[in-house]
Chains A and B, each alone.
Chain A
Amino acid sequence: MARLSICSLDASDSSAHRIASSTAQLSLNSPSVYPYEDVTSLLDEATKEIKMGEVIRVETFSLFDAMCAIVIMDPKMDTGMILDDYAKRPQYDINRLLTPKEFIWIFDNILVGQAEGPSHPPAEFVSKVLKACVLSVAKSCGLIWNEMKKGQVYEEEDFMSNKFGVSLYENFPTSSLITLLDVAELWLDSQGKAWIDAQYGDEAPAVLNGLQERIHYSRFATAIPMLETTRKSVQAMKSTHNLGVPVEEAFDHVVHRKLVTNTPPRVIALLTIDETFTSLEQMCEDLASIGTALSFSDATNLVNFFIQFGGKKPSPAAFPRSILQTVLYEDAILMGSRKAQDVVWESIQEIVSPPSWLYQPSVNNLKKANTPQTNNGTNNQTLKLSGLASATTGLPSSGAPSQLDAIQEQAEDSQDEGNGMEGLEGTGLNALKQVMQLKATEFVQKAVKPFVDTLQIAGQNTSRQRRNLRKIVQLWEILQEEAEALDEDLHWLLNEIRVEAGGQPEALDDGTAPTIMSKPFYFVSWAYHMKQWTMEWMLLLGFELELYSTFELSMIYGYVDCVLGAHAQHLRRIQSINEARLAEEGGSSNAHKKKKKKKKKKKKGASASAATDADADDDADADGDGDADGNAGEDEKSSHPDPAVAESAGQAAAAAAPASMAVKERLEPAITSAQMMVSVRIQLARATFLILAALTKVEYLSITPPHVASHGLNDLETLHRHRFKAFHNLSSPETMSFENFLNRLECDGYDAWRILEFANDYFDEAKISLDRMQSMSAREARVELCYDGWRKDIKSMIRVCIAAKVAIVSLQKDARVLEHRDYIAKVQKQRQAAEAAAEAALLYPGIKSRIKGATAPKPVPLELAPLKFKSAVRKVHLEWKYHSWWPVISLE
């Protein structure tokens, strides 16, 4: 009703005429099967009483409703309108025969549409080949659509879920399709080949190859796992595309008119054929990389893979991004292979290495279970088991699982028996350890959400990445707070354990200096590290999204520098904890002697190579505790009542030992590569800040907006409040206040030339670190799943360093920079002279005053008049072509 009224009220005479003529063209005037009724006169009558501009609407009429309305026959909104030039084009005869070259052209143009979303080929087919190929492309669109509608990526931004009533052969079985393709291929190999040979002479092999590759492509487009083959087909199609002969009328670019829609469909800008092939190849690569990541070796490699994926340039298409998020997390399983909480624990362990007895890795670990000798049947069973386990364990939010509750109760009981904190005996301490273990496990479960959510960010478009990171930072902040309580408890317990083992309590009251190990803050450290990383990511994305104005840049880089500085400091602390822990473990091996016998027994089941390893000792300990868990507080010395339990425990130990070996072996690089990246970023941020500060000193740049708002606030201080709003309420790190920034910008009074020199030094340092990183192996750098991308990033940063250093050379020759250097030199000279004079005056005050009969002269500060630059202003040029976070700054 409403829409009709638009037509009748607002359509001008000319558009009414257009409607009339087009209706005729569309033969809508002919008797229709639909019971149409002409309501024009009724509407005219009804609207007579409405005054000009009067609107009758329901209360709930929203802007969205308004935006959804389409003005029929408005060329802008009615995208399916048949315009004159289109109406004149030849009609496609669905019964016509196609030559193989025409087929190549048609097929390739279908791909152009496929790359951009559902395409609309003519729904008719001339041969077995085209029919099969077109069908499979449509089917693959349907399969992609199924993935996209899962809601991992953003509707309207990344894709449109509306199919406008177009069938994508959802119900057409893939198996039938494959049969069709088989038939097509068979035909092509026999009759088709003979015909093509006769038809094309010398060109025949190429044409035939072109056709076969297109069939191959169609085949694999419906079976994503064959990515590498698909990619090769894409390349082959690229090389045979030139054989194609256009059949323009085969495609209908205003197919919209046939679609069922209530909003103006988004116009799809078609790619060129080259862009299409490039994007298809890119998509294959991106999808293949996700496939590789499924069998990730450890948490650090996994996290690094996501970082790389999220920052990839050009950005991965919406489909691979959606796939990434889909495979990331389901039923408490990460990447379809391992329990999420185990991976989180691994991440914690790799970064801060808390005592391994704190966490009992799930026995139902898919990856561990999928050892080579297992067959499909057992695999499936493991999967089911694991699913069951996760169902009983539940998500972090679903509270403590009942089984764990029972253990906790028992642990508490035994704690009571041991009279709580006083007079701790072995069993009491063990009970406490169990309670601690539960708490740690609970924490790890809670950490799954922030951890998974953070990784998921990598699958979103860059705009969303930044917007959602705001929230992620808060998640880590909350987790960090929770970690504090846990760490406090742990510190107390670790101290008790030390006492138990005959060591000295690490207390302050006995006068001994507390070592860093007395307060390692494992969990806080990890959460804080993750939080800092997300903060940096968010801030740096602002550069990539071009959000910051030039006058803000020095403040932002200063702030980034500050956050990174805190991060570096934090990582150093973690490193010293790790070192102290290793040292302690080395020194305290005597303390383990009591348990040696028991351990030996365990190690029979465990990997023999683990025997000499300190970590393996720890693991054996953990194993012991785990057994205690399993037997619900039974006396440790009792033998396993059930051999099966013992067996499985032994297996678990066997599986866990090599894993922790790997952790130990990789401990250094895990933290080192993070440290290296943070320090490179500090150097780059600081160097960039210094250049901006130097250019501010010589008044090429300003920290006030070029146009101060008369009606609002756009000064830098307001922006400081706004840009870092997400960080204001954080407990840590201490960020850069606005006053702090102004101080920093002064650069201790150095002249612009000297400041540029400092910047140059930082670029030098950054380049040295980057060169070192570039020579690291994928394993050392923990980027086994994304080595190429990681190296590409390092290379672009190296390019920034080189280009920036070249730019600094010419900046240092700038007239104003030199003026400023001379001016500061003069100021310093005068100051020195004044100081000397003041010193002299202090030495002989009496004489002077006696002679002159006056009071002692005050040292007159001989300040020079503020520098007024003689040289003209030059425009600052920021170039982001090497890296979207780090510009090269020069003067135009």
Chain B
Amino acid sequence: MTKSKSKSKSKSGSGSGTKTGQGQQAKDSPSTTASASASSATTTVAQPPARGNTSSSSIPPRLPLIDYVGYESEDQLQGMVTLIENDLSEPYSIYTYRYFLKQWPKLSFLASSSAGLLELQNYSAIASNTLEPHGFNKSNRGYIAMLAVSKEYRKRRIGSSLVLMAIEAMKTAGADEIVLETEYTNTSAIALYQQIGFIKDKRLYRYYLNGVDAFRLKLFCKPELEVPQTN
């Protein structure tokens, strides 16, 4: 039996915006609606309080509106890092952030309110050459690397909005499918992605550094070319 060759894979995927602590929170809260992980952002990146996305319509009036922007420069980086470091169990060096942001800056998104930076969406579209039993059709595979939303801004569909923006951008770039990993105990993150249309494709044993299994979630951007054969 062959062993997993790509050790990098098993490390690279970590933390689609979700962590252990958060799974716990999900249990405490009766609602399972979308929200990604924990703790508050400290950096203030002032953005005009413009109406960002459709999702903001459901925001109670007393809360500031959310502005969604694409990644532009490393001026935004420190805020992202702080947010993600607080939220995700998996530690990332600055190189990991730069790996994604430098190669696929257009696929990374941030949301902020006049109160400060809220979250980060950071992903990449990478062509995967996986050999499927069906043949040699190379599919373009997008990958969502990290997602985090400050605690006080959760349950406002900010995470979902960011994911949708990313999906749109990746589809425009020609993605056939989009994948990500999340801790299998993180029910709220799984719910968030399932609402968007992701399905649980695989389970990955002790995927994270903390020894927790992951689910690989997958979104089919368009139907596969092959027609199912009954016989």
Cα A271 to Cα B120 with chains together (Å): 36
Q: For window 189-215 of chain B, which residues contact chain A by CB distance below 8 Å? A: 194-207, 209-211, 213, 215
| A151 proximity list for chain B (CB < 8 A) | 3
Across the interface, name the chain B residue whose C-beta is closest to A460. Answer: B1
The answer to whether the Cβ of B230 comes within 8 Å of any Cβ in the partner chain is: yes
Q: B91 and A549: CB pair below 8 A? A: no
Q: How far is the CB of A44 from chain B (nearest CB, A)?
A: 17
Q: B133 and A470: CB pair below 8 A? A: yes
Across the interface, name the chain B residue whose C-beta is closest to A2. Answer: B95
Question: Which of A600-608, A681-689, A724-732 interfaces with chain B?
Answer: A724-732
Q: A70 and B220: CB pair below 8 A? A: no
Q: B85 and A76: CB pair below 8 A? A: yes
Cα A269 to Cα B209 with chains together (Å): 11
Q: A74 and B91: CB pair below 8 A? A: yes
How big is chain B's contact interface, by range? 35 or more
| A63 proximity list for chain B (CB < 8 A) | 8, 12, 96, 99
Across the interface, name the chain A residue whose C-beta is closest to B212. Answer: A269
The answer to whether the Cβ of A157 comes within 8 Å of any Cβ in the partner chain is: yes
Cα A68 to Cα B96 with chains together (Å): 9
Q: Contacts A456-B1, A713-B220, A718-B223 given: A725-B133 contact, CB under 8 Å?
A: yes
B184 contact from A69, A546, A548, A737, Cβ within 8 A: A546
Q: A719 and B199: CB pair below 8 A? A: yes
Interface membership of chain A positions 45-62, coded 1 if the CB is closer than 8 angstroms to chain B and 0 otherwise: 000000011010000011
Q: How far is the CB of A458 from chain B (nearest CB, A)?
A: 11
Cα A887 to Cα B165 with chains together (Å): 38
Cα A62 to Cα B3 with chains together (Å): 20
Q: For window 59-97 of chain B, which residues contact chain A by CB distance below 8 Å? A: 73-75, 77, 85, 91-96
Q: B74 and A53: CB pair below 8 A? A: yes
The answer to whether the Cβ of B10 comes within 8 Å of any Cβ in the partner chain is: yes
The answer to whether the Cβ of A463 comes within 8 Å of any Cβ in the partner chain is: yes
Number of interface residues of A (CB under 8 A): 74
Q: How far is the CB of B57 from chain A (nearest CB, A)?
A: 16
The answer to whether the Cβ of A870 comes within 8 Å of any Cβ in the partner chain is: no
Q: How far is the CB of B7 from chain A (nearest CB, A)?
A: 6
Interface membership of chain A positions 821-850, coded 1 if the CB is closer than 8 angstroms to chain B and 0 otherwise: 000000000000000000000000000000
Q: B200 and A547: CB pair below 8 A? A: yes
Cα A68 to Cα B1 with chains together (Å): 27
| B223 proximity list for chain A (CB < 8 A) | 713, 718, 721
Across the interface, name the chain B residue whose C-beta is closest to A269. Answer: B211
B7 contact from A64, A724, A729, Cβ within 8 A: A64
Q: How far is the CB of B205 from chain A (nearest CB, A)?
A: 4
Q: B93 and A69: CB pair below 8 A? A: yes
Q: Contacts A155-B4, A463-B205, A548-B200 given: A721-B211 contact, CB under 8 Å?
A: no
The answer to whether the Cβ of B228 comes within 8 Å of any Cβ in the partner chain is: yes
Q: A467 and B202: CB pair below 8 A? A: yes
Cα A460 to Cα B210 with chains together (Å): 20
Q: A734 and B205: CB pair below 8 A? A: no
Cα A225 to Cα B231 with chains together (Å): 50
Interchain pairs with CB closer than 8 A, number: 189
Q: A729 and B133: CB pair below 8 A? A: yes
The answer to whether the Cβ of B162 comes within 8 Å of any Cβ in the partner chain is: no
Q: For window 197-232 of chain A, which residues contact chain B by CB distance below 8 Å? A: none
| B1 proximity list for chain A (CB < 8 A) | 152, 325, 453, 456, 460, 468
Q: A711 and B197: CB pair below 8 A? A: yes
Cα A24 to Cα B209 with chains together (Å): 30
| A720 proximity list for chain B (CB < 8 A) | 228
Q: For window 226-249 of chain A, which residues contact chain B by CB distance below 8 Å? A: none
Question: Which of A274-282, A613-621, A701-709 interfaces with chain B?
Answer: A701-709
The answer to whether the Cβ of A174 comes within 8 Å of any Cβ in the partner chain is: no
Q: A52 and B73: CB pair below 8 A? A: yes
The answer to whether the Cβ of B117 comes within 8 Å of any Cβ in the partner chain is: no
Across the interface, name the chain A residue whose C-beta is closest to B177. Answer: A712
The answer to whether the Cβ of A675 comes within 8 Å of any Cβ in the partner chain is: no
Cα A697 to Cα B164 with chains together (Å): 33
Q: How far is the CB of A563 from chain B (nearest CB, A)?
A: 14
The answer to whether the Cβ of B102 comes within 8 Å of any Cβ in the partner chain is: yes
Q: A547 and B74: CB pair below 8 A? A: no
Q: B93 and A71: CB pair below 8 A? A: yes
Q: A721 and B224: CB pair below 8 A? A: yes
Q: How far is the CB of A260 from chain B (nearest CB, A)?
A: 18
Q: B199 and A735: CB pair below 8 A? A: no
A266 contact from B4, B209, B221, Cβ within 8 A: B209
Q: A711 and B93: CB pair below 8 A? A: no
Q: Contacts A718-B220, A729-B133, A734-B231 given: A55-B102 contact, CB under 8 Å?
A: yes
A711 contact from B10, B11, B194, B196, Cβ within 8 A: B196
| A705 proximity list for chain B (CB < 8 A) | 194, 197
Q: B94 and A728: CB pair below 8 A? A: no
Q: B194 and A462: CB pair below 8 A? A: no
| A409 proximity list for chain B (CB < 8 A) | none
The answer to whether the Cβ of B229 comes within 8 Å of any Cβ in the partner chain is: yes
Q: How far is the CB of A239 from chain B (nearest CB, A)?
A: 30
| A69 proximity list for chain B (CB < 8 A) | 93-96
Q: How far is the CB of B121 from chain A (nearest CB, A)?
A: 14
Interface membership of chain A positions 266-304, coded 1 if the CB is closer than 8 angstroms to chain B and 0 otherwise: 110100000000000000000000000000000000000
Q: A549 and B168: CB pair below 8 A? A: no
The answer to whether the Cβ of A464 comes within 8 Å of any Cβ in the partner chain is: yes
Across the interface, name the chain A residue whose C-beta is closest to B124. Answer: A63
Q: Contacts A463-B202, A474-B133, A713-B197 given: A52-B74 contact, CB under 8 Å?
A: yes
Q: A154 and B3: CB pair below 8 A? A: yes
| B197 proximity list for chain A (CB < 8 A) | 705, 707-714
The answer to whether the Cβ of A186 comes within 8 Å of any Cβ in the partner chain is: no
Q: For window 784-811 of chain A, which residues contact chain B by CB distance below 8 Å? A: none
The answer to whether the Cβ of B98 comes within 8 Å of any Cβ in the partner chain is: yes
The answer to whether the Cβ of A461 comes within 8 Å of any Cβ in the partner chain is: yes
Across the interface, name the chain A residue whose C-beta is closest to B76. Answer: A53
Q: B94 and A67: CB pair below 8 A? A: no
The answer to whether the Cβ of A780 comes within 8 Å of any Cβ in the partner chain is: no
| A466 proximity list for chain B (CB < 8 A) | 202-203
Q: How far is the CB of B125 from chain A (nearest CB, A)?
A: 14
Q: How far is the CB of A311 from chain B (nearest CB, A)?
A: 15
Q: For window 151-199 of chain B, which residues contact chain A by CB distance below 8 Å? A: 164, 167-168, 171, 178, 184, 194-199
Q: A462 and B167: CB pair below 8 A? A: no
Cα A263 to Cα B210 with chains together (Å): 14
Q: How far is the CB of B189 from chain A (nearest CB, A)?
A: 15
| B92 proximity list for chain A (CB < 8 A) | 66-67
Cα A719 to Cα B223 with chains together (Å): 10
Q: Contacts A77-B93, A157-B10 given: A546-B205 contact, CB under 8 Å?
A: no
Q: For window 115-139 of chain B, which residues contact chain A by CB distance below 8 Å? A: 132-134
| A53 proximity list for chain B (CB < 8 A) | 73-74, 77, 98
| B207 proximity list for chain A (CB < 8 A) | 157
Q: Contacts A151-B3, A463-B213, A737-B228 given: A67-B12 contact, CB under 8 Å?
A: yes
| Most-contacted residue by chain A among B74, B94, B203, B222 (CB, 10 A) | B203
Cα A113 to Cα B166 with chains together (Å): 44
The answer to whether the Cβ of B36 comes within 8 Å of any Cβ in the partner chain is: no
A77 contact from B73, B91, B178, B203, Cβ within 8 A: B91
Pick 24 A–B contacts, CB within 8 A, sort by A: A55-B98, A63-B8, A67-B12, A67-B14, A266-B210, A266-B211, A267-B209, A456-B1, A461-B205, A461-B206, A705-B197, A706-B194, A707-B195, A707-B197, A711-B219, A712-B167, A713-B223, A718-B220, A719-B199, A721-B228, A722-B201, A722-B220, A726-B133, A737-B228
Given contacts A61-B95, A462-B203, A547-B202, 19 further A-B contacts (CB under 8 A): A52-B75, A65-B95, A67-B14, A69-B93, A71-B93, A152-B1, A156-B4, A266-B209, A269-B210, A453-B1, A706-B195, A707-B196, A712-B197, A712-B198, A714-B220, A718-B220, A722-B199, A737-B228, A737-B230
The 4 closest A-B pairs by CB, nearest first: A709-B197, A64-B8, A53-B74, A66-B95
Which residues on A are within 8 Å of B, measured CB to CB? 6, 10, 52-53, 55, 61-71, 74, 76-77, 151-152, 154-158, 263-264, 266-267, 269, 325, 453, 456, 460-464, 466-468, 470, 474, 545-549, 705-714, 718-722, 724-726, 728-729, 731, 734-735, 737-738
